[in-house]
Chains A and B, each alone.
Chain A
Amino acid sequence: MFTESWQSVGPSLDECIKCNICTAYCPVAAVTDRFPGPKYAGPQAQRFRENGQPHAPDRSVDYCSGCRVCNEVCPTGVKIAELNARARAQMVAEQGIPLRNRLLGRNELLGKLGSLAPRLANLGLHNHVSRVMAEKVVGIAREAPLPRFSEEGTFGSWMKRTAGERLRSDRKVVYFHGCATMYYEPFVGKATVVVLEHLGYEVIVPPQNCCGLPLLSNGEFGAARRYHEGNLHKLVPYAQQGYEIVGSSTSCTLTLKEEAPELLDMFDEESEELKLAVWDVFEWLRERYRQGELPTDFKPLPMVLPYHPPCQYRAHRVGRPAAELLALIPGLDVRVSTARCCGIAGTYGYKREKYQIGMDVGAELFEFVREQGREVRMTACDSETCRWQLEHGTGLPSRHPIEVLAAAYGLYDLERREPRGV
């Protein structure tokens, strides 16, 4: 039995009882005066944004990072982070969008361009002069942990190259890799594929678009809608045939399931079909485990591993499935962080005026990692930009938990980030 408790974003503000719990927990309001906190920027200011009010009341809502701590702690279910995201879109509609945010919103396009000549692109982007320029001209903080384009080819080219070695099976699952895996971190995709195959599934990788999240969080709703429509077109046929679609990026899976339809008001049948077919990879693996279908032939991985459940899990509301499964690996001492946010929040911490806020927000997490002792060699987190921020803030390498799982199955080299030949 499942009683639907859906509340659409707008009316949810009427549920606010002004308890200020959200403000007490918001990690951004805790470190800066520039953001008054969720209650003020969300349900309160929203009153002035509705019903054809001419202008957004103030610009502070732009400092909301979208981490959704507020949504999680709110006792009455106000969709504060979504109210804020919509308010940003309203500001963009009124005032236009800065070039920088246009760039940061276009992960897929940047990836495509960069992967044409990744070495050159990395050289061009990752040097002091160009980072200073980027800060001055477009406002991307020079210290921010921008990713490097993969110099060993994209995930797509690896899939093509290894097509002959890929498992064929009656049990099939569709893989949504997202832009970061495609262009920057193909090894995350490789680890996912070898794990899914280890469970006996053939992995289908259909053509796909960016999920649109970077555009949504920068307030470019029109462009985001086009991406989501593209994904519906490409993925819904699989959903209709009964395939499950797993993704290794917690933010992409969240966007496909809920963020895009909710923010864009796309409650059509196809969006619903896609939503119900999409799983975060660890959510899906945990389900296999609960059904008794997960192989547990783990090799010991003796080490202490600080693990940070990314903010998007908070929005998925599925608990901490990666932590549950990593705990099965013998010898692995998983320390789950309770830090609220790493501070990067997608593209937030890249922005010149927000870089320091992001680092101050992340301090809680960096401190947690330091407290786990000096033997710690690496950290883990499911979300790509959070991993980059973690590396930036702690100086330690960071891995996706799927890489750790693949390594425990003996299928993956955690140091070199390469599948092992089986």
Chain B
Amino acid sequence: MREIPDLLVIGAGLSGLMAAYEAAEAGLRVKVIAKGLGSMHWSAGTVDVLGYAAGDKAVSMPLQELEGLQAVAPHHPYVVAGAEAVTEALSRFVALAKELGLPYEGAEEPGRNLWLPSPVGAARPVYLAPQGQRYGDLALAEPIVVVGFEGLRDFYPWVIAENLRKQGHRARGTVLPFALLSERRDANTVQLAQELDELKRVVTLARALKEVVEPGERVGLPALVGLDRHGRAMEVLQEELGTRVFEIPTLPPSVPGMRLYRALRSDLEGRGVEVEIGMEAVGYEAKEENGGFRRLLWVETATSARPLKHRARAFLLATGGLLGGGFDSNHEGRVWERVFDLPLAMPQNREDWFRPKFLDPAGHPVFQGGVSVDREFRPVSPEGKRLFANLWAAGNGLRDCDGIRERSREGIAIVTGIAAARSILVALRREKHVH
């Protein structure tokens, strides 16, 4: 019989893939399964670590904020991991991204957040940006020309420019013909990015840009400058124009997020990690063990007929929360974790899910609830008791964080993914030692 994997990761978002990377690099046999493709496909492709704390207080030095976090949110994943683990995981990501040919950078002053334009021209606090977005930093003085394309559905240069002006930045919008990007009448950002993988098109685009860019301006383009040959395309544009060029994220699908996903996945597959999408985990089998623990034997995924069993020695739940699809809810007010029905730290009464104001700075309780874990990132009961001998959890399904409001989604994914993988490594090594 074929040997079973050491680790089964459920979920192919950033936390699952980072955990898979960490474990595979340490020599574990890893398999990743996921219901569909994860949130990297619709987020901006940046690494946001902490943009807002205590309601709507803007954070400029996220790592310095961690200590304060401990007092107000003792179960926050950063607190569980510890400040040192946060810093280390982020450097680990930076090194990996460079290896993948998709370098990420922070602000010039180490530790400070960048403020980058969002798809509507709001300022977004970002800790690490892909090189292509780095020069959108609103702390830089050069005026911005936002260049869109006629008929492109997912990018509105004038809206962005106007909103930037309202915030006191010098910015203007303009458009170029769609035909520069594609012969097609209509195409989405991913298809257009693929068109810009061709050098000839990039050169043509550069020529057209020269006509509209004024001296001293930096150029903001929709994030579709190449999919697999992004680095080359950016270089050519900067060289031809002799000025800074940067990408602004578009409405989904997110090309910068997909670049990272594709690079990570192919790196994992190169390490022998199997990644299978379209596998929805719907159940599991566990046996009682001494000490009151239950040990997971396998996880079941839905197929066209009978469930398919995925055995492993260790299991990592990285399916996200309500937004990522890790939790489901019904009209009676129940919210549950979909695979193991883990207890959730979450208001049980439906009236308490939301605060009255939609954009309340304190956010909504239902988005802040989640799985409780101990220091080793193992799910625990409300009384703090470990639930399974070989289950770990990571990512934005953990309790007491609110990735979108805090602007911490990717930071949480990377930090907890790596921390959980390390804990798994220690546990598996210990077991081997015992046997």
What residues make up the interface of A, taking CB atoms closer than 8 Å to B? 1-5, 18-21, 23-25, 29-30, 33, 36-37, 71-77, 253-254, 257-258, 275-276, 278-279, 289-290, 292, 314-319, 324
Please state if B278 and A278 are interface contacts (CB–CB under 8 Å): no
Is B411 in the interface zone, CB < 8 Å from A?
Answer: no
In whole Å, how far is A371's beta carbon from the nearest beta carbon of chain B? 15
In whole Å, how far is A67's beta carbon from the nearest beta carbon of chain B? 12
Q: Which of B135-143, B180-188, B384-392 faces chain A?
A: B180-188
- Which residue from chain A places its CB closest to the CB of B269 in the assembled complex? A338
Please state if B305 and A257 are interface contacts (CB–CB under 8 Å): yes
Please state if B186 and A317 are interface contacts (CB–CB under 8 Å): no
Is B1 in the interface zone, CB < 8 Å from A?
Answer: yes
In whole Å, how far is B49's beta carbon from the nearest beta carbon of chain A? 23
Is B167 in the interface zone, CB < 8 Å from A?
Answer: no
CA A77 to CA B36, docked complex, whole Å:
8
Is B280 in the interface zone, CB < 8 Å from A?
Answer: yes
Please state if B185 and A33 are interface contacts (CB–CB under 8 Å): yes
> B275-312, CB under 8 A of A: which get 1 and which 0?
01111101111000000000000001111111110000
Which residues of chain B come closer than 8 Å to A5, judged between CB atoms?
280, 282, 302, 338
Please state if A19 and B42 are interface contacts (CB–CB under 8 Å): yes
Residue from B2, B36, B188 within 8 A of A20 (CB atoms): B188
Please state if B278 and A71 are interface contacts (CB–CB under 8 Å): yes
Which residues of chain B come closer than 8 Å to A315, judged between CB atoms?
304
Please state if A317 and B303 are interface contacts (CB–CB under 8 Å): yes
Q: Tell whether A21 pairs with B36 under 8 Å between CB atoms, given A2-B307, A33-B186.
A: yes
Please state if A319 and B276 are interface contacts (CB–CB under 8 Å): yes
In whole Å, how far is A62's beta carbon from the nearest beta carbon of chain B? 18
Which residues of chain B come closer than 8 Å to A314, judged between CB atoms?
278
CA A320 to CA B277, docked complex, whole Å:
12
Please state if B285 and A1 are interface contacts (CB–CB under 8 Å): yes
In whole Å, how far is B345's beta carbon from the nearest beta carbon of chain A? 22
CA A37 to CA B188, docked complex, whole Å:
10
Please state if A21 and B304 are interface contacts (CB–CB under 8 Å): no
Residue of A2, A20, A25, A75 ringed by the most chain B CB atoms within 10 A: A75
Which residues of chain A come closer than 8 Å to B253, judged between CB atoms?
19-21, 23-24
Please state if A292 and B1 are interface contacts (CB–CB under 8 Å): yes
CA A278 to CA B280, docked complex, whole Å:
20
Q: Tell whether A77 pairs with B35 under 8 Å between CB atoms, given A21-B42, A72-B278.
A: yes
What are 15 pairs between A and B in contact, CB < 8 Å?
A1-B284, A2-B307, A3-B282, A21-B36, A21-B42, A30-B191, A30-B194, A33-B186, A72-B36, A75-B41, A77-B35, A289-B2, A316-B304, A317-B302, A318-B304
- Which residue from chain A places its CB closest to the CB of B255 in the assembled complex? A24
- Which residue from chain B places its CB closest to the CB of A254 in the assembled complex? B304
Overall SS of chain B's interface: loop
Residue from A3, A75, A319, A324 within 8 A of B36 (CB atoms): A75
Please state if A290 and B304 are interface contacts (CB–CB under 8 Å): no
> B314-358, CB under 8 A of A: which get 1 and which 0?
000000000011000000000000100100000000000000000
Q: Tell whether A316 pairs with B303 under 8 Å between CB atoms, given A23-B188, A24-B188, A76-B36.
A: yes
CA A37 to CA B153, docked complex, whole Å:
14
Chain B contact residues (Cβ within 8 angstroms of A): what range? 35 or more
Which residues of chain A come closer than 8 Å to B252, judged between CB atoms?
18-21
Please state if A73 and B282 are interface contacts (CB–CB under 8 Å): no
> B20-45, CB under 8 A of A: which get 1 and which 0?
00000000000000011111011000
Q: Tell whether A317 pairs with B301 under 8 Å between CB atoms, given A76-B325, A77-B280, A276-B306.
A: yes
Residue from A75, A278, A290 within 8 A of B37 (CB atoms): A75
CA A29 to CA B252, docked complex, whole Å:
16
Which residues of chain B come closer than 8 Å to A316, judged between CB atoms?
303-304
In whole Å, how far is B222's beta carbon from the nearest beta carbon of chain A? 14
Is B258 in the interface zone, CB < 8 Å from A?
Answer: yes
Please state if B305 and A258 are interface contacts (CB–CB under 8 Å): yes
Is B366 in the interface zone, CB < 8 Å from A?
Answer: no
Please state if A73 and B36 are interface contacts (CB–CB under 8 Å): yes
Which residues of chain A come closer than 8 Å to B10, judged between CB atoms?
none
Please state if A317 and B36 are interface contacts (CB–CB under 8 Å): no
Given contacts A19-B42, A254-B304, A317-B280, 10 further A-B contacts (CB under 8 A): A3-B341, A19-B253, A23-B188, A23-B253, A30-B191, A75-B324, A76-B36, A257-B304, A276-B305, A317-B279
Is B190 in the interface zone, CB < 8 Å from A?
Answer: yes
In whole Å, how far is B307's beta carbon from the nearest beta carbon of chain A? 5
Please state if B308 and A2 are interface contacts (CB–CB under 8 Å): no
Q: Tell whether A75 pairs with B283 under 8 Å between CB atoms, given A23-B188, A258-B304, A290-B2.
A: no
Which residues of chain B come closer than 8 Å to A24, judged between CB atoms?
41, 188, 190, 253, 258
Which residues of chain B come closer than 8 Å to A290, judged between CB atoms?
1-2
In whole Å, how far is A146's beta carbon from the nearest beta carbon of chain B? 28
In whole Å, how far is A375's beta carbon from the nearest beta carbon of chain B? 23
CA A24 to CA B188, docked complex, whole Å:
7
CA A15 to CA B283, docked complex, whole Å:
21
In whole Å, how far is B113's beta carbon from the nearest beta carbon of chain A? 26
CA A202 to CA B82, docked complex, whole Å:
62
Please state if B38 and A75 are interface contacts (CB–CB under 8 Å): yes
In whole Å, how far is B208's beta carbon from the nearest beta carbon of chain A? 22
Which residues of chain B come closer than 8 Å to A76, judged between CB atoms?
36, 325
CA A275 to CA B306, docked complex, whole Å:
8
Residue of B38, B186, B194, B277 ringed by the most chain A CB atoms within 10 A: B277
CA A254 to CA B252, docked complex, whole Å:
32
In whole Å, how far is A392's beta carbon from the nearest beta carbon of chain B? 25
CA A109 to CA B307, docked complex, whole Å:
35
- Which residue from chain A places its CB closest to the CB of B309 in the assembled complex? A290
- Smallest CB-CB A-B distances: 7 pairs: A72-B278, A75-B36, A24-B253, A258-B304, A24-B190, A2-B283, A257-B304
Please state if A319 and B308 are interface contacts (CB–CB under 8 Å): yes
CA A23 to CA B154, docked complex, whole Å:
13
Residue of B186, B252, B278, B308 ringed by the most chain A CB atoms within 10 A: B278
CA A76 to CA B38, docked complex, whole Å:
10
CA A324 to CA B188, docked complex, whole Å:
35
Which residues of chain B come closer than 8 Å to A292, judged between CB atoms?
1
Q: Tell whether A75 pairs with B325 under 8 Å between CB atoms, given A314-B278, A316-B304.
A: yes
In whole Å, how far is A34's beta carbon from the nearest beta carbon of chain B? 10
Please state if A2 and B300 are interface contacts (CB–CB under 8 Å): yes
Which residues of chain B come closer than 8 Å to A18, judged between CB atoms?
252
Q: Tell whether A317 pairs with B278 under 8 Å between CB atoms, given A24-B190, A30-B191, A33-B184.
A: yes
Which residues of chain A come closer than 8 Å to B307, judged between CB atoms?
2
Which residues of chain A come closer than 8 Å to B324, judged between CB atoms?
75
Which residues of chain A come closer than 8 Å to B191, judged between CB atoms?
29-30
Residue from B2, B186, B194, B251 within 8 A of A36 (CB atoms): B186
- Which residue from chain A places its CB closest to the CB of B320 in the assembled complex? A75
CA A21 to CA B307, docked complex, whole Å:
26
Which residues of chain A come closer than 8 Å to B284, judged between CB atoms?
1
Residue of B184, B186, B191 ringed by the most chain A CB atoms within 10 A: B191
